[in-house]
Amino acid sequence: MELVLFDLDNTLLDGDSDYEWAQFLIEQGVLERASYEQRNQDFFDQYKAGTLDIYAFLDFQLAPLAQYPRTQLDAWHAGFMAEKIRPMIKEASRRLVSESLRDGHLCAIVTATNSFVTAPIAREFGVKHLVATEPEEIQGKFTGKVTGLPCFREGKITRVEQWLSAQGRSWKDFPKSRFYSDSHNDLPLLERVTHPIAVRPDPSLRQTALARGWEVIALD
């Protein structure tokens, strides 16, 4: 059995679910375009540049979850899946995941995007295990805060190790481990696995992958 880890945004998805969730809420009139759209773009640009303050971003991204009941949020998310997410899922991505599951590997989606946004996407891919940033929830209601360590940069390693430990496993149980990602922000976890794989990599990751002889794929 291998350990197979997948980044989500711009890796399995041909787009960014975090960014598109905020855009979807703007388009639905839930969030005010004037105050949210530019901030959403600014945070996205910071992520790509490697300068993102993850806690400042989470304060921005999780706040709307605290303002509405879960039933309403789930209804919006169903529309989000139909309008934004499913069109971003290419057949090559579905095939990659299904082949890893078919071969009996332990698979997980590992993403900085919060689990409210990403859990239905993981189910869409048929992946049981999701390691994501967790929004705080008290008595069934989101607080707008994060709980635990964000699943971002070095935090992805910590969160993966916590997930493995909860199953009575560790890295040493797997002779081969793979991680698929597009982003230089994921270098810590890419360096931790035995087989890092760059998927449509950003320029910084592409340079690193080519210099180190890592596999580079497109999933197109």
Respond yes or no: is residue 16 known to be catalytic: no
Pick the catalytic residue from 7, 182, 186, 202: 7
Respond yes or no: is residue 9 known to be catalytic: yes
Q: Which two tokens stand for residue 115?
A: 């689990």
Give 218: exposed, middle or buried? Use CB within 10 Å, 0-12, 13-18, 19+.
exposed
Give the closest residue to 19 by CA, choosing from 41, 3, 2, 34.
41
The DSSP element (H or E) to which 204 belongs, if any, is helix 203-212
Contact at 8 Å (CB) between 131 and 159? yes
Pick the catalytic residue from 9, 18, 182, 202: 9
Residue reference for tokens 């270098």: 187
Which residues belong to the active site? 7, 9
